[in-house]
Amino acid sequence: MTLRRALTFVLSCLTFFWLAPGNATAQSSTFNAHEYFLDNGLHLVVVENHRAPIVTHMVWYRVGSIDEYAGKSGLAHFLEHLMFKGTATMAAGEFSKTIARHGGQDNAFTSFDYTAYYQNVAADRLALVMEMEADRMTGLVIDENEVAAEREVVIEERRMRVESSPNAQFGEKLRALQYEAHPYQVPIIGWPEDLATLTREDALGFYDAFYGPNNAIVVVVGDVIPADVKALADKFYGPLPRRQIANRSHTPEPTHTKAQTLLLRDARVNQPSWSLSYMAPSYGVGDASYIYALQVLAEIIGGGNVSRLYEKLVVEDEVAVYIGASYSPLRLGPASFRISAAPHGEDIDPLAPAVAEVLAEVVKNGVRPGELSRAKRSLTAQVIYAQDSGHGLANVFGSTLVNGRTIAELEAWPANIEAVTNEDIMAAAKHIFVEAQSLTGILLPEADIPEPGPEPAPESGAEMLDSGAGE
């Protein structure tokens, strides 16, 4: 990991591409995506990318950890693991081995809002992986003997990702405070007490409630011809019957009326962390008209080493060694606008007032034209960089569509970013930087250990879990 990445990776992941609804404008097509709907409700998207003779095949299901029920946290992710345990035609453990025999790589991941499975293979293996995914879309068979060991695997995964990391534990507690009622308060991987109770029947019940062609989006990106892919999808996915999909209904987050602070001390901490987050609109919740402006705002105040926050706190005041901002509106539930910092030395006290000064300045006087154009260029260049990776593009399309957005909105994203004005940014900043809706997080060593020094927020690993065997 490069030095810069070592400091910033927490924030680097999800700024990407996220469009806002409503004001999509007509645009020439950047991606030339082909979209099909099968009679059984399956949504298929194909993007040609002939740079290498490979293809990424992904299936995205509209179900995630927020769809779990009380006492069974971690169930969506547990089911994701059990999806590799076989069907009527595929023995336990054979799924990934079969992909590997064909030179392919496969994995899956579970998020709050969705669950996805993918294979990267030579383009001429697409039929194989499609047949296999279609097979387990409605035909999962789980041997009781596999369940107990896999439950232990998931518990070890939690020990590795969460219990072994003070930063991940800090992140978990912060989320529980950030969301007082919405199920984002529950960790994707689940609470340990719940994990111990998960059964085969729980998993199959969840599977029956949410898996099926009418709740799936298949994304294929690579060295393929769209009509050929459609024919393969008709052959393998087409015969699957529609299934009755359970309602997705989630407790809304009440309006926050009091600023909160979490102070956590942990003897393992050598490098303190500080964060400040505000509730913010997402595509799913809140006033989406602010979304583009907030993306530009995050870039201007907290993107990279020339941002306002970095300039003030790291370069001028020397009160932080790192600071950045992140905002990911592409979710079904309420989003947050988050600022994370690693203090310089042991003193976190100067961080909050310095950050407040930067935010107040934007609310009051807005941003400079040069900052605005720089941020827009930086954001819109991502559209070109994204096309370098077929797998990355498949992620962009899948996460967009699974959140209820459209290809037209994705295509219109650069134009909508370009349209953001200084006034939009001022209005958006004023809208979200409300103290009563803020959460401050502080992670410190135990009080009797005299070495402080803060650092970024929770490890991003907890945001998305995969079932990979390796690292």
Active-site amino acid positions: 80
Answer whether 308's CB lies under 8 Å from 421's CB.
no
Contacts of residue 15, defined as CB under 8 A and 6 or more positions apart, other chains included, come to 295, 298, 299, 303, 326, 327, 328, 379, 382
Shortest distance, position 94 Cβ to other proteins, whole Å: 6
Strand 115-122: give its sheet, edge to edge: 34-37, 43-48, 216-222, 54-61, 115-122, 105-110, 465-466
* Whole-number Å distance between alpha carbons of 309 and 323: 7
Q: Which of residues 364-383 bind other proteins (CB under 8 A)?
A: 374, 377-378, 381
194-233: contacts with other proteins (CB under 8 A): none
Within positions 267 to 326, which residues make up the interface with other proteins, using CB under 8 A?
267-271, 304-306, 311, 314-315, 318, 321-322
CA distance 394 to 182: 28
CB of 401 to other proteins, least distance (A): 22
**For residues 34 and 242, which CB has a smaller minimum distance to other proteins in the complex?**
34
In the complex, least distance from residue 319 CB atom to other proteins, rounded to whole angstroms = 11
Residues 351 and 414 sit within 8 Å (Cβ to Cβ): no
Structure-token pair, residue 106: 């496969």
> Of 27 and 271, which CB lies nearer to other proteins in the complex structure?
271
Sites for other proteins among residues 392-421 (CB under 8 A):
392
Choice between 213 and 453, CB closer to other proteins:
453
Q: What tokens does 389 get?
A: 């990776």
CB of 146 vs other proteins, minimal distance in Å: 8
| Spatial distance between the Cα atoms of 302 and 409, rounded to a whole number of angstroms | 25
Question: How far is residue 406's CA from residue 386's CA, in Å, rounded to a whole number?
Answer: 18
Structure tokens at 57: 């095949």
Cα–Cα distance between 42 and 217 in angstroms, integer? 6
Tell me how far, at minimum, the Cβ of 286 lies from other proteins, in Å. 29
Nearest residue (CB) to other proteins, 286 versus 445: 445
Distance (Å, whole) CA 274 – CA 341? 5
By beta-carbon proximity to other proteins, the closer residue of 307 and 437 is 307
Q: How far is the CB of 38 from other proteins (least distance, A)?
A: 21
Conformational region of residue 286, where left means phi above 0, alpha means psi within -120 to 50, and beta covers everything else? left
- Pick between residue 53 and residue 252 the one whose CB is nearest to other proteins: 53
Q: Round to whole Å and give the CA distance between 339 and 120.
A: 35
Q: Provide the minimum distance between the beta carbon of 97 and other proteins in the complex, in angstroms, as a whole number.
A: 5
Q: Using CB atoms within 10 Å of the CB of residue 350, give its burial: 0 to 12 exposed, 13 to 18 middle, 19+ buried.
A: middle
Residues 71 to 130: which contact other proteins by CB under 8 A? Answer: 84, 89-94, 96-98, 100-105, 120-124, 127-128
**3, 26, 70, 447: residue in contact with other proteins (rule CB under 8 A):** 3
- Determine the size of the site formed for other proteins (CB under 8 A): 92
> From CA 90, how far away is CA 143, in angstroms rounded?
12
Picking from 336, 282, 75, the residue whose alpha carbon sits closest to that of residue 186 is 75
- Rounded Cα–Cα distance for residues 393 and 387 (Å): 6
Type and span of the H or E element at 47: strand 43-48
Identify which of residues 280 and 417 has a Cβ nearer to other proteins in the complex. 417
* Least distance between other proteins and beta carbon 50 (Å): 7
Q: Which of the residues 4 through 43 are near other proteins (CB under 8 A)?
A: 4-7
Query: Per-residue x/- marks for other proteins, 128-167, CB under 8 A?
Result: x--xx--x----------x-xxxxxxxxxx-xx--xxxxx
**Binding to other proteins, residues 37-66 (CB under 8 A):** 50-54
Residue found under tokens 């950045």: 324
* C-beta of 120 vs 336, nearer to other proteins: 120
Based on the shown chain and the rule CB under 8 A, indicate whether residue 239 belongs to the binding site for other proteins.
Answer: no
